[in-house]
Structure 1
Amino acid sequence: MNWHAVRAIYRFEMARTFRTLTQSIVSPVLSTSLYFVVFGAAIGSRMGEIDGVSYGAFIIPGMIMLSLLNESISNASFGIYMPKWSGTIYELLSAPVSFVEVVIGYVGAAASKSVLLGLLILATSRLFVPYEIVHPYWMLCFLLLTAVTFSLFGFIVGLWADDFQKLQVIPLMVITPLTFLGGAFYSINMLPPVWQRITLFNPVVYLISGFRWSFYGVADVHVGISIGAIAGFLLLCMAAVWWIFHTGWKLKV
């Protein structure tokens, strides 16, 4: 394993983040803070508890997951798309670096940014809503596993995209609607029975449910199923990345 190459890619991507600190960190934190002001303080104070948890505290895991998914995909996809767009990816492919080291560098940097952002949102939410974390270890595990998985998915999106518009299609047109419909603001147990069964086909439900369980010990779906869903998607993304580098799809054009 060429750790020098991994470190070089990782440091380059992290340096880009700190050069655009306002766009990468400050803007998502402020945007999520507005959600807490509106839904947590204003609306939440007029709503009852959900599964024994105040509404303001109940939506914290969903808000963190919403930002985590979008930022993981956006950071990773943009990071690998820029070398494709500028043509420097051919220098990377011809260098004595394996695809595993390339993926670790780019995905590791994107996941690090997303985890940092998630922790900042978690700390900021304390200013608006009191909450507790029943399983802090599992909370960090869910945070890290989700960030790595969707950063890897974002890496695939960046390889697939042919222009800048396609980079935004998946986060805006797919992930955000699935998150809003996946129990970020409500428990799926509040839905009619038919819609409860339909909602279970939404993969984001398992992410939010497992993450919320780590906070309050309550979940819409068994936590084991949530972990299995994330792990399964991670393996699927790993297989897709291997196939892309093995066949050269979208790399040798």
Structure 2
Amino acid sequence: MAFNRHGVLAIYRFEVARFGRTILTSLLVPVITTSLYFIVFGSAIGSRMTEIGGIPYGAFIVPGLIMLSMFTESIFNASFGIYMPKWSGTIYELLSAPVSAFETVLAYVGAAATKSMLIGLVIFATAHLFVDVQVAHPLLMIGFMALIAITFCLFGFILGIWAQSFEQLQVIPLLVVMPMTFLGGAFYSIDMLPAAWRTVTLFNPIVYLISGFRWTFFGKGDVGIGVSMIAMVGFLTVCLTVIAWMFKTGYRLKS
């Protein structure tokens, strides 16, 4: 079957339009949140810990702040986008339409990743109001940001199919992803931890994503950029495999 470009664009535009109806709130919230983080962390911690690894503390937390918001936004946008057709019953129209599983995922994940990238760039711009942030590898930073947005949107897509209520949509992001992000070196270097806790932290996959993204800013991270890329590709592969299985078996799509 030929690629259904019109079907993909129709879904993509619908999802982006949904975001557009609340764009002021969607962009204002991360700006305010980022500003509060800088005010609180800058005054409470930055005054006592001016540098980490030779990097000013204010600049050091910028990659972590961007990742914190992008993880949440990617999961929320993608999970909500596919859950609503399930909740309203229109999922059956989507499944019977001449749109393949690949095209469906491409449209929903593409729209969610676009929103997530936009919010990430808005937070990056907001950070410049508080600190001077220099990016050592700008193209790699954009590429890494896009890869993270796509990966977590795929993860959110999985959650949207799995969830059977609005409450379940919030469980994983709030009780799993958020704590893992705070414990993943978003606001500190894991090298500052005792040896035993550092070993435990290395089992947190978020560490490798934040460290890799921070490397694109400053040329240094808690783990090597190669390890971070391998972890990212591994997570992406797992998400794609799970989604392929869901569409093949109809898991919570046809029942």
Q: 5+ unaligned residues in a row in structure 1: which ranges?
A: none
Match of 1:214 in 2: 216
Change in 2 beyond 3 A, CA 1:169/1:23: farther
Match of 1:80 in 2: 82
CA distance in 2, matches of 1:123, 1:42: 23
Shift in Å at residue 45 of structure 1?
3.4
CA distance in 2, matches of 1:65, 1:155: 18
CA distance in 2, matches of 1:28, 1:168: 18
Question: Are 1:154 and 2:156 matched, yes or no?
Answer: yes
Shift in Å at residue 39 of structure 1?
1.0
For residues 211-250 of structure 1, what are the structure 2 equivalents within 5 Å?
211-250=213-252
- CA RMSD in angstroms comes to 1.0
Shift in Å at residue 42 of structure 1?
5.0
Say which of 52, 66, 69 aligns to 2:68: 66
CA distance in 2, matches of 1:106, 1:10: 6
Match of 1:196 in 2: 198
- 8 Å CA contact retained: 1:78, 1:158: yes
Deviates more, 1:199-208 or 1:16-25: 16-25
Question: Are 1:9 and 2:19 matched, yes or no?
Answer: no
Shift in Å at residue 43 of structure 1?
3.1
For residues 66-215 of structure 1, what are the structure 2 equivalents within 5 Å?
66-215=68-217
Name the aligned partner's letter for residue 21 of structure 1.
I
- 8 Å CA contact retained: 2:34, 2:126: no
Shift in Å at residue 24 of structure 1?
2.4
CA distance in 1, matches of 2:70, 2:113: 9
Shift in Å at residue 200 of structure 1?
0.3
Say which of 30, 33, 37 aligns to 1:31: 33
Name the aligned partner's letter for residue 229 of structure 2.
I
CA distance in 2, matches of 1:202, 1:47: 25
> Secondary structure at 1:129's aligned position in 2?
coil
- 8 Å CA contact retained: 2:38, 2:58: yes
- 8 Å CA contact retained: 1:73, 1:151: yes
Q: 5+ unaligned residues in a row in structure 2: which ranges?
A: none
> Secondary structure at 1:4's aligned position in 2?
helix
Name the aligned partner's letter for residue 63 of structure 2.
P
Shift in Å at residue 41 of structure 1?
4.8
Q: What does the per-residue CA deviation read over 1:32-67, in whole Å, with 9 as the maximum and x for residues that have no partner?
A: 221012113553133221010011110000010000
Shift in Å at residue 129 of structure 1?
1.1
- 8 Å CA contact retained: 1:76, 1:106: yes
